[in-house]
Amino acid sequence: MEKALIGKKVGMTQIFDADGKVIPVTVIEAGPCVVIQKKSVEKDGYAAVQLGFEDVPARKLNKPQAGHLKKAGDALKRTLKEFHLDNTDEMSVGSVLKADVFAEGDRVDITGTSRGKGYAGVIKRWGAQRTPMSHGGGPVHRHAGSMGSGTDPARILPGKIGAGHMGNEQVTVMNLDVVKVDPEFNLIAVRGAIPGPKGGVVFLRNSVKNK
């Protein structure tokens, strides 16, 4: 059964397993999420559900947003995300999904927005090697180097590394173990690190490439 939730990164800590070994974990406030909308194959051409997370004041929504959300009751949510799931028939508009959707031992894929690091050169951004520090190599030790032939093809080919805006992009970390679930506080602890800063919105779903 496919499962999905929207959450917020709380931060990293560590817990101990039954053998006393330290497990580095990231704690996520996962849910509660409200089913805002359902898509069906008959009407929309595909099956999916739209989930909403985190309450938002009505004054911060425009009329189209508020009208869309009120179809699911009084669920005024800040973050909306559509998930393509195979069990949408079991869900209904207005129903609430909590952290206990997942259980200890599950594998999840987590998608978030990485930290923005501003403008960065090729060494920091791509791990490029600098030029020799002697024999007249300066003063361009940290520059990108050759961009390719000047006569043919006489252009920079797509995919060439270069300096530019680093971070602040969607990143998915796959196959993370769910170490602990706290249904009372809607907290999920997963092994390892996930993208984004503390308080960043993340999307969880069961792993599509479970090993």
- Report, as an integer, the average pLDDT of 29-40: 87
Local confidence band at 66 (pLDDT 50, 70, 90 cut-offs): confident
Local confidence band at 65 (pLDDT 50, 70, 90 cut-offs): confident
In tens, the pLDDT along 129-187 reads: 998 888 888 888 998 888 888 888 889 999 999 999 999 999 999 999 999 999 889 99
Q: How far is residue 104's CA from residue 169's CA, in Å, rounded to a whole number? A: 29
Burial 94-116 (b: 16+ CB within 10 A, else e): eeebebebbeeebbbbbbbbbee
**Count of beta carbons in the 10 Å neighbourhood of residue 49:** 24
CATH topology of domain 4-116+170-206: Elongation Factor Tu (Ef-tu); domain 3 (2.40.30)
From-to residues of CATH 2.40.30.10 in the chain: 4-116+170-206
In tens, the pLDDT along 188-202 reads: 999 999 999 999 999
Give the per-residue pLDDT at 211.
60
Q: What's the pTM?
A: 0.84
Sign of CA dihedral 134, 137, 142, 146: negative
Give me the residue label for tokens 């990293």.
12
